[in-house]
Amino acid sequence: MAGTLYIVPTPVGNLEDITLRAIKVLGEADLILAEDTRTSSVLLKHYDIHKPLRSHHKFNEHAASAQVVNELLAGKNIALISDAGTPGISDPGFFLARLCASEGIEVQTLPGATACIPALVSSGLPCDRFCFEGFLPVKKGRQTLLEQLKTETRTMVFYESPYRLVKTLEQFITVFGPQRQCSVAREISKKFEEHQRGTLEEVAQHFRQHEPKGEIVIIVKGEEGMKRNDRKTREEEPV
């Protein structure tokens, strides 16, 4: 009988943000796949979990997944974790989950920590409808994607490196306009968690003067020129 692949969210900051079920699954797994074994070892040691640990990251994911599938088919229960948050969301995990699903292997994803939802809800911007864009392309396709998002009416969620934050905000100013409302969340669930809210220009100016550090989530308000009912009516018009 085949085993189960468990996709297990881990804390994005405070180690206490892990769920009881996640601790149980990690403690009972035959093998834990980790994006970085050094980072994950800290968490596992904290909860006194001693299980075989193997690297599974974006550079070996495709080559390693076939072996993982074979182990699952042989009956092992395997847990996949990333450095922080939910695997598959801007982290390795999607390819393995898809491969397991195609082989009829059960995939269970536990609810748990992620950086984007706390940042969105804390932003004060509309969160009933939103689109998650993750990390923008660094070069090719970046400007094209931003132009496509120019008239997006839903609140937009982006991940960004602190080293590119100011440049990205300045690009947003060019595309969305300096008065578009936004929020930048930094170090979610950590000691120095910070939320800077205001217009794109105001927030960009803050980070020009204060060098950003840590994990970054950018929340940008959607375009207000087209109301939801107007958009629905337009979409329903016959071609």
Determine the 3-state secondary structure of 63 from DSSP: helix
- Give the model confidence (pLDDT) of 220-231 as tens digits: 999 985 555 444
Task: Decide: 134 and 115 in contact? Cβ < 8 Å.
Answer: no
Task: Decide: 170 and 205 in contact? Cβ < 8 Å.
Answer: no
Q: Where are the domains of the chain?
A: 4-109, 116-220
Residues in the chain with pLDDT values less than 70: 225-239
- The two beta strands, 194-199 and 181-186, are antiparallel
pTM value is: 0.88
pLDDT of residue 236: 54
* CATH number 3.90.1580.10 given to 4-109: no
Structure tokens at 174: 């060019």
220: which DSSP letter? E
pLDDT of residue 239: 47
Domain 116-220 classification at class level: alpha beta
- Give the model confidence (pLDDT) of 1-44 as tens digits: 899 999 999 999 999 999 999 999 999 999 999 999 999 999 99
